[in-house]
């Protein structure tokens, strides 16, 4: 326990964060703390500050890895199978990111979730379902946009084909006209020679 507290204080993470209730917003705060701490943890092996910090806390020299920090908050398997995927995708949706951060300008629960329940009752499962619905809508939009692009391409291709066909028929009709003129000239020469 002393090691965990030493690690959290060194990284500037509240030692109370790991004991907060598992609401979706609290879980997101924990996720952000983990992600923000991942880079500073990479330099702990060679950090004199870290060694000094451990000495101050009476902790034997120890070089933690990222998984050690993850395990303060949640099991490694759950972090990688649930938190990381869901929260990294949620951050790509500004309205959800704002709601998770509990920003004052965030949309209401009913606007985000299309339902009303206590904000403390939303879970990572609710977020996964929300993301799934957003992905379905996004796929439909991109399919429609893609279909629209394809039809425009097809229309342009048809125009080119018609134009080429029209030019060919113009050339062939010009050829027919020329042949007719030659026939007429030949007939008139024959008639005049008779």
Query: How do residues 44-54 score in pLDDT, each as one tens digit?
Result: 989 999 999 99
Q: Which long-range contacts (CB under 8 A, 24 or more apart) does 136-139 make?
A: none
- In the chain, where the domains are located: 2-122
Q: Which residue has the tokens 């990479």?
A: 42
pLDDT at 191 over 60: no
pLDDT single digits (tens) 67-123: 999 999 999 999 999 999 999 999 999 999 999 999 999 999 999 998 888 888 999
Q: Is 31 left (phi over 0), alpha (psi -120 to 50) or beta?
A: alpha
User: What size, in residues, is the chain?
Assistant: 194
pTM exceeds 0.85: no
């Amino acid at each position: 326990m002393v090691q965990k507290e030493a690690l959290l204080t060194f990284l500037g993470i509240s030692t109370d964060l790991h004991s907060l209730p598992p609401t979706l917003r609290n879980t997101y705060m924990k996720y952000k703390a983990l992600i923000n701490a991942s880079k500073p943890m990479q330099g702990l092996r060679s950090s004199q500050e870290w060694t000094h910090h451990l000495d101050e806390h009476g902790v034997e020299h120890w070089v933690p890895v990222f998984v050690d920090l993850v395990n303060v908050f949640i099991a490694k398997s759950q972090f990688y199978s649930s938190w990381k995927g869901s929260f990294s995708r949620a951050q790509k949706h500004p309205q959800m990111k704002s709601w998770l951060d509990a920003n004052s300008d965030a949309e209401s629960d009913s606007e985000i979730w299309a339902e009303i329940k206590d904000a403390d009752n939303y879970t990572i499962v609710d977020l996964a379902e929300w993301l799934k619905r957003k992905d379905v809508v996004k796929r439909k939009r991109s399919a429609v946009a893609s279909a629209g692009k394809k039809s425009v391409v097809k229309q342009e291709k048809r125009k080119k084909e018609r134009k080429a066909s029209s030019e060919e028929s113009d050339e062939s009709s010009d050829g027919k006209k020329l042949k007719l003129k030659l026939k007429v000239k030949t007939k008139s020469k024959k008639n005049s020679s008779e």
